[in-house]
Structure 1
Amino acid sequence: MVAERPEGPGGNGVSRASTVDLRARLLRAAEAEIAATGPARASLRAIARRCGVSHQATAHHFADRAGLFTALAVEGHQLQTEETRTAIASVPVDGGQQVAAAGAAYVVFSRNHAALFDLMYRPDLLRNDDPELVAARFAQRDLMIDTIAAAQKTGWGTEVATAELAALGFAAVHGLAVLDRDAIIAVVYPEVDIDSILRRVLHVLDGLA
């Protein structure tokens, strides 16, 4: 296994297209490694091995594991925002239905993209001041603020400040997603169906008129 080298003046080494492809492959390999071992145990060497390149080859795109993980977390937040926006657009704005749809989309994302979800909320493994990561997180926040504000204009949830309501909803669905991921509900309350809990949480949100 040899390190991939940037293309030099004489045309030696890999092409620019190859290095761009390597970046994408490293991101997908990181996601796969996190799915297999968890974010804390996923090493840069193991990720490089999945791509068939040396550990040194990763330095062309990412200085260290935190840099790679941060880029992957940015992708995760962007994808979650896109999926949430799609869910919101599928229902009417009246009565907080879009807010409930956003909450349901959050839990669905945590199930369908478990490796990304595990990484996105691990500040100990990320560069939390990275501009792209900050922007991606605030894009999610702004989407929820705008969605709640639109619902409040129809008379829903008007007694609670918009940002406070957004934080409350985030805390509720994130906590539920984590409990679902770790199977805590199934262990402590085996007689309770977590999807039923989600429906009740969303019903409460939907009824804040």
Structure 2
Amino acid sequence: MAHRPFHHGNLRAVLLDRAEAVLRERGLDALSLRELAREAGVSHGAPRSHFADRRALLDALAERGFARLADELREAAAREPADPARTLRAACSAYIAFAVREPALLDLMFAAKSDTPPQPVREAAERLFATLAGIMGTGVAAGAYDAADVGRLTLLLSATVQGAAALRTSGRITEEQGESLVDDAVAVFLAGLPSRR
């Protein structure tokens, strides 16, 4: 039997990269710390120095997914900074593109794993929502809605793009229908909020 080393240059990153690939190619059920260690060429106990168990690995994947999605939305919105409609549309399109590219990761990110996810996962999710709130803030500057409505609109935007992404990744709607949904959602957001009853 070949000796497998315990140490690896950047084992945590290697394991997370490989776990994302497994998640993408074979799904959540195929993820195993032992199998990831084998593929990384390290001893089966080596991953435990970074992930106490499979749940910790899944939490780290979710945290990484939230951070990457927030970055992608921020970058997309930054390409259209002067026009609130284009900014919102770019962010929504980036969200759906992420969902189409990484459907299993997005499902993992939003799966209810427990009532109190670990703090790093909560903080990463909060950063995503803060990014969305910042993007929604472009509508305040344009006079489309009040700053007091940003929190409410951010939740509505999140639900809208998450729903459109789910429809798109499940094959219920086409890419063109998804783009049309994004256009309609942006138009509704910029038309203003209905008053609360």
TM-score range, shorter chain: 0.7 to 0.9
CA spacing shift, 1:184–1:54, aligned 2, 3 Å: farther
Structure 2 gaps of 5+ residues are none
Q: Does 1:166 align with 2:166?
A: no
Percent sequence identity over matched residues?
A: 30
Q: Is the 8 A contact 1:32 1:115 kept in 2?
A: no
CA spacing shift, 1:61–1:109, aligned 2, 3 Å: same
TM-score by length of 2: 0.82
Cα distance in 1, alignment partners of residues 3 and 116 from structure 2:
32
Match of 2:14 in 1: 25
Deviation for aligned residue 1:85: 0.8
CA spacing shift, 1:101–1:194, aligned 2, 3 Å: closer
Query: Could you say what the CA RMSD is over the residues aligned between the two structures, in angstroms?
Result: 2.6
Q: Does 1:203 align with 2:187?
A: yes
Output the amino acid matched with 1:203: A
Deviation for aligned residue 1:169: 0.7
Structure 1 gaps of 5+ residues are 6-13, 187-191
Q: Does 1:182 align with 2:170?
A: yes
Cα distance in 2, alignment partners of residues 95 and 63 from structure 1:
44
Deviation for aligned residue 1:64: 0.5
Higher mean alpha-carbon deviation, 98-107 vs 43-52, is at 43-52
The number of equivalent residue pairs is 191
Deviation for aligned residue 1:34: 0.8
Q: For residues 97-123 of structure 1, what are the alpha-carbon distances to aligned partners after superposition, in whole Å with 9 as ceiling and x for unaligned?
A: 322322121111112333432321223
Alignment of 1:2-151 (within 5 A): 2=3, 4-5=5-6, 14=7, 18=8, 20-124=9-113, 128-151=116-139
Point out the structure with max Rg over C-alpha: 1
Output the amino acid matched with 2:178: I
Q: Is the 8 A contact 2:15 2:36 kept in 1?
A: yes
Deviation for aligned residue 1:141: 1.1
